[in-house]
Amino acid sequence: MVKRDASDLAIRGGRPAFDRRLHVGEPNIAGEARFLERARDLLQRRRVTNRGPFVREFESRIADYAGVRHCIATCNATIALEITIRAAGLSGEVILPSWTFVATAHALQWQEITPVFCDVDPRTYTIDPARVEALITPRTTGILGVHLWGRACNVEALTEIARRRGLTLLFDAAHAFGCSSGGRMIGGFGEAEVFSFHATKFLNSFEGGAVVTDDERIAKKVRLMKNFGFSGRDRVTYIGTNGKMSEIAAAMGLTSLENIDEFLAANRANWRAYREGLDGIRGLSLIEYDGREHSNFQYVALEIDENRAGIARDALLEVLHAENVEARRYFYPGAHRMEPYRSHQPHAGLLLPVTERIASRSLSLPTGTAVSPADVEQICQIVRLAVAGGPLVPAMATGGCLS
């Protein structure tokens, strides 16, 4: 098969398929009137931060949704991870996947804990429990699992390893709000889990995060640490930082939570449209979701086999970008190839063959409430033409219509 690059498929003289850019992670927005009502309320009360009524309500509703005893809302998920890692008493080395957003590793490194990168399961792209055991040393104090693309990692296997080896188990659940594992909602596994409510996530609070746990000890420490260590007026009893969520962020989070069914319906419809539109295209594999579990369907991730598709992932990415489809290479090139980890562990890639392969082949496509099934159909036609090797010019020169 003759392989092609983006120049073989470039648009010459035609308009892009879309007159606006379709982004991966464009915010899900709904309930504008209710949000503005809440915004007016907090301005009239002049209570804009320091765990006001909206933050307290948000924490309570998130805890109920996740089925946990404690939820501590924070300004973002990175701070939540850092605080949780410290509250759990981690030190030395912690095992985690490299196939994650670099903030997962940074949250450890920031506190002078060594991230030890583990390869991922080739079927799920999540941390491979079979490889964790070999990475445990006398300096290992914990495992940091990462739920990925709306699917849980192997919670049961990681829990067994952590229990047997006396390790602390935490989870980065930034991608997993509204998802389940074994029929149980993500949030109550390990000693604690961390959600992200960043604008790009399924449920957003503009910017925000939360620590969720059933562990009273960790919850108490996290509450202290996210507010400078204050345990009362003029009384500081623990080291801390400023990790508080603002009232306006909580107002957005509450409004998003009220519209979560709309977000889920849009994501599910888009994912099904992608599955239908990409079906049968050689060399492309779309991630599947287990129908027995809850998922937020927030991520549409592809793996492109260049040898079968005849086009490399990066060439396909260029084609999509030219059509105003802002697809992304999640989490290229892998945390182990970013600084400071690349310098600290220059040969880490030798132990991460699956991660290395996925980093060169994975691509995420736009979805969410800003993308319609009709948009998805057009994106799929672009991908189909690119893989088939057909000219894109005639399709694009007719005002962006691919039909």
Phi, psi of 348 (to 5 degrees): -60, -35
CA of residue 244 relative to chain centroid, distance: 21
As a whole number of angstroms, the distance between CA 197 and CA 254 comes to 11
DSSP code for 350: G
Amino acid at 320: L
pLDDT at 338: 98
Q: Is the peptide bond before 331 cis (omega within 30 degrees of 0)?
A: yes
SS3 187: coil
Structure tokens at 9: 């498929």
Whether 32-258 and 6-26+260-327+366-396 are alike in CATH topology: the answer is no
In CATH terms, the fold of domain 32-258 is Aspartate Aminotransferase; domain 2 (3.40.640)
Where are the chain's structural domains? 6-26+260-327+366-396, 32-258
CATH number of 6-26+260-327+366-396, picked from 3.30.1360.70, 3.90.1150.10, 3.80.30.20, 3.40.50.300: 3.90.1150.10
pLDDT per residue as tens, the chain (403 positions): 545 555 555 444 468 999 999 999 999 999 999 999 999 999 999 999 999 999 999 999 999 999 999 999 999 999 999 999 999 999 999 999 999 999 999 999 999 999 999 999 999 999 999 999 999 999 999 999 999 999 999 999 999 999 999 999 999 999 999 999 999 999 999 999 999 999 999 999 999 999 999 999 999 999 999 999 999 999 999 999 999 999 999 999 999 999 999 999 999 999 999 999 999 999 999 999 999 999 999 999 999 999 999 999 999 999 999 999 999 998 999 999 999 999 999 999 999 999 999 999 999 999 999 999 999 999 999 999 999 875 443 333 333 334 3
* pTM reported for the whole predicted model: 0.93
* pLDDT number for residue 59: 98
Residue 117: what are its φ and ψ, rounded to 5°? -80, 130
Runs of H (alpha helix) within 99-175? 102-109, 129-132, 155-165
Q: What is the pLDDT of residue 179?
A: 98
- Rounded to whole angstroms, the Cα distance separating 227 from 222 reads 9
